[in-house]
Amino acid sequence: MIDSRRTTPLGKQIVVTGAAGFIGSHLVDALTERGCQVMGVDRRNVTDDPFAAMNLAVAAENPQVRMVHADLADADLAEVVAGADTVFHMAAVPGVRTSWGDRFPDYVRSNITATQRLLTACEQKGVRRLVIASSSSVYGTSNGPSREQDPTGPLSPYGVTKLAAEQLCLAHARRADTALSVVALRYFTVYGPRQRPGMAINQLLLSALTGAVIPLYGDGRQRREFTYISDVITATLAAAEAGVKAAVVNVGGGTSITMQQALQLAGEVTGRPVAVAELDDQAGDVRATEADLTLAGRVLGYRPAVELHDGMAAQAAWLATLTDAQRHSLLRDQLAVTR
């Protein structure tokens, strides 16, 4: 639902769920640069998760940030969101391949049940805007640029849970008795510094930097639209102030390329070869992702600014600043995710 009126500004009191993660930690940093007071919520603990600690290294030194160690599926969320103007819901269990089988109950608990509990708390405490991180995985098979009004048909349990979370948010926002408004952002494969293990760009760049052999699923001709983290943060902040009541909006990088092209780019930006082991297609992997960004331009004023070559070079430069132990730890975790 598009509203021609602009909503009230972002506000000063902000909650970010999934604050210790890839996107969440970048969002926390961007919000503090705007002068916001941020409460970050995450079930990961910086004391025993080295990557959470690394992601929050800047935020941990900032008096504008208060971190809360909590699980959204059972915490007192009314207390968490009390006084917040905007809630950015970045928390979720990610991953297409790992969503099959025994781990599925955690996807339901973290992606659906936790979202429902957060929505109820936001309504109770008068939060005006919730921005939720959704995924291009909700589309499933596509023969061209995906538009928000296209039919959805996720091919993985992960995609099913993200679509369910979207629909819960929209249902709450459309209630006649609520002041809560919602924007669900369908992110298309986000990459950049702090990218989580198991994602393609991290795999390719770490292979080049360490010489490790990494898996390449399928024939390499499958296409992905990659979106740099700073573009995602720009769109996410814009979503907090967009003139909408209940909306779903694509956020993409502007170009869809094959995995073979991505492999070649990784070699170019590092100056080193990428070693891959070719494996069969995996259940849930779609053949192509590509975003139609017409609505993003109209509602968010969004246009991607970072070219893939430049973004991959920035990510490679960040990986190069890590210690050998950190890189090998990231690679070890990454290969565990992709098995």
Long-range contacts of 263-269 (CB under 8 A, 24+ apart): 263/204, 263/216, 263/220, 265/308, 265/309, 265/312, 266/201, 266/204, 266/205, 266/207, 266/208, 266/312, 266/316, 267/208, 268/309, 269/205, 269/309, 269/312, 269/313, 269/316
Helix crossing, 259-270 with 200-210: angle to 10°?
40
Active site residue 187: no
| Closest CA relative to residue 180, chosen from 84, 39, 70 | 84
* Annotated catalytic residue within 139, 158, 228, 302: 158
Strands, E, within 166-321: which ranges?
181-187, 190-191, 213-217, 223-225, 227-228, 246-251, 256-258, 275-279
For the annotated catalytic residues, the residue numbers are 158
